[in-house]
Amino acid sequence: MSGVRVLVGTHKGAFVMTSDAKRKQWDISGPHFTGWDVYHVKGSPADPNRLYAAQNTGWFGQVIQRSDDGGKSWNPVGNKFAYEGATGTHLWYDGTPRPWEFKRVWHLEPSLTDPDLVYAGVEDAALFRSTDGGQNWEELPALRQHETGPSWAPGAGGMCLHTILLDKKHPDRMFIAISSAGVFKTEDGGKSWRPANKGLHSEGIPDPNAEVGHCVHRIAMHPARPDTLFMQKHWDVMRSDDAGDSWREVSDNLPSDFGFPIDVHPHEPNTIYVVPIKSDSEHVPPDGKLRVYRSRTGGNDWEALTNGLPQSDCYVNVLRDAMAVDTLESPGIYFGTTGGQVYGSADAGDSWAPIVRDLPAVYSVEVQTLR
C-alpha cells in the first residue's frame, strides 16, 4: 500500500508525519531532539528507511542524526565539519575580511543512488560529503576556494549553502546555491565550480548584474528535465533552460516576487509553485492572505491557490526549505510556516488542509513517497 512520510524540521525539534495515499489522516511522531533547532531532515531516495537530520543549538553546536528505520529510532553520527586546507576569508557585513568559520548545517542532500552518500551544505558556506552514512565528513574545497570566495558576503540569515541539486542523468553535475553569493555549478563531481548567475539582476548590490553576490533563496529542478531550473531569488522568480548558463525573469503577475521556496510538480515539469511574501523588510504574506501561486506554463502566468488556506489576518512566513512535493498520481504539495502550521494538498494545490497547526516555527519540510 502506498503512502507518504513528511519530515519536518522546526525551531524545537523534528517531526515525522505519515499517512496513506489519501493523505487525510496523519500519524505524527515527535518532537525528536526536543529543544534543538532542526534545520533539515531528509530521506534517501535509494533507501526510504534511511533518514538524516541536522540538529544544532548555539550552546552545543552541530549534531547529525541518522535513522535506519524510517524515523522510529535515531543515532548520532559524525559531526566534525573541518574546512580543508587554508581557511581564507570572506566579506563580513561591515565589508571587512573575516575567516571562514563553521556554524551549522543548513541542508542535507542524500545521494540519488547510494544511501551512505550524503552531502551537507553548511554555514559559513561550504559543501561537505560523507560516504559512510554520516560517520565522517570531508569538504569539497574547490567551491569555497573559488576565486570569487573572498568577495562572498552573508545574507541576513548568515552565509549559508542552502540548496544542493543532484541530477541522475548527469551524475557529475551538481548545482548549489549560497546566500548571498548565488548559484554555482560543477560538471566534474565538485572538483571545479563556476558561477551560474548570468541574467540575475539584484538592485541591492553594487553591480546589479555581477557574476556573484546575488541572494538566491532557492532553486528547483524536475528530474526529467534537468536543464531547466527555477529560482526564487530574494526578489524575482527566475528560469533557466540551459542548465544555469543564463536566467530570465518569470515573475509577471505575482502579487510579490519576493519569497523563499520554489518547487516543481512531480509529473508536469512546467508546473511550479511559489509562496509570495510581501517584502524583504516585512516577511509576511501580502494582504494577510496565505496564498501558494502555481504556474502551469513554467512561469509568467500565475494563479493563486487559496482553497483551505487562511485568507485574512495571516502573517506567517514560509522558509526556503519548507516546501516539498510527493510523487503519487495525484501529487501532494506540502509547506510549513513560521507559525508552526504544516499544510498539505493531495490534489496538486487545488485544495489545502492543515496536517498540524501548532508546531514550533517550521524550518524545513520534505516528503517521501512510500510504495
Partner 1 sequence: MIRVVLPAHLRNLARVGGELKVEVTGPATQASVLDALEAGYPMLRGTIRDQVTHKRRAFIRFYACEQDLSNEPPDSPLPEAVASGTEPFLVIGAIAGG
Nearer to partner 1, 35 or 288 (CB): 35
Distance CA 159, CA 58 (A): 16
Closest separation between CB of residue 86 and partner 1, Å?
A: 14
Closest separation between CB of residue 135 and partner 1, Å?
A: 10
Closest separation between CB of residue 220 and partner 1, Å?
A: 32
Kindly state the cell numbers that stand for 10.
Answer: 522546526
Nearer to partner 1, 29 or 57 (CB): 57
Closest separation between CB of residue 214 and partner 1, Å?
A: 32
Site for partner 1, rule CB under 8 A: 34-36, 57-63, 76, 79-80, 82
> Measuring CA to CA, how many Å separate 26 from each of 19, 31, 147, 296, 369?
5, 15, 49, 29, 14
Nearer to partner 1, 137 or 230 (CB): 137
Distance CA 347, CA 265 (A): 11
Nearer to partner 1, 139 or 326 (CB): 139
Nearer to partner 1, 139 or 366 (CB): 139
Closest separation between CB of residue 37 and partner 1, Å?
A: 12
Nearer to partner 1, 57 or 209 (CB): 57
Closest separation between CB of residue 157 and partner 1, Å?
A: 20
